[in-house]
Amino acid sequence: QKEVEQNSGPLSVPEGAIASLNCTYSDRGSQSFFWYRQYSGKSPELIMFIYSNGDKEDGRFTAQLNKASQYVSLLIRDSQPSDSATYLCAVLGTGGFKTIFGAGTRLFVKA
């Protein structure tokens, strides 16, 4: 079992729809959870982070965390073609020392 798992996709949604990206992790003691966006050929950039169970909203983005289920998700509302990218889930594990990245989910937003 991989430490951080994501569906590789591609996930294809029409413009204006909600895109739902999911991530599961194996380290039950994980403390912090990050979503990065990576455009093709570019480096990752932080979208948002979440520490506590529940939802965290930032503009069109909502991160959801369920530590009991070891599950974190990212919702993108009103998806735009410019949201087409790979979304990386990153988990800071027990001890707050090492961050593990998932392989990423490719998202395509069709105009």
Partner 1 sequence: EAEVAQSPRYKITEKSQAVAFWCDPISGHATLYWYRQILGQGPELLVQFQDESVVDDSQLPKDRFSAERLKGVDSTLKIQPAELGDSAMYLCASSLGAGTQYFGPGTRLLVL
Residues that bind partner 1 (CB under 8 A): 4, 8, 32, 34, 41-46, 49, 88, 90, 92, 96-104
How far is Cα 90 from Cα 53, in angstroms, rounded to an integer? Answer: 16
How far is Cα 84 from Cα 108, in angstroms, rounded to an integer? Answer: 5
Rounded to a whole number of angstroms, the minimum distance from the CB of residue 15 to partner 1 is: 25
Output DSSP code: residue 26.
S
Query: How many residues are given for the chain?
Result: 111
Rounded to a whole number of angstroms, the minimum distance from the CB of residue 96 to partner 1 is: 5
Choice between 5 and 60, CB closer to partner 1: 5
Rounded to a whole number of angstroms, the minimum distance from the CB of residue 2 to partner 1 is: 10
Choice between 14 and 33, CB closer to partner 1: 33
Rounded to a whole number of angstroms, the minimum distance from the CB of residue 33 to partner 1 is: 11
Choice between 19 and 34, CB closer to partner 1: 34
Residue partners of 23: CB distance under 8 A and separation at least 6:
4, 5, 6, 33, 71, 72, 73, 74, 89, 91, 102
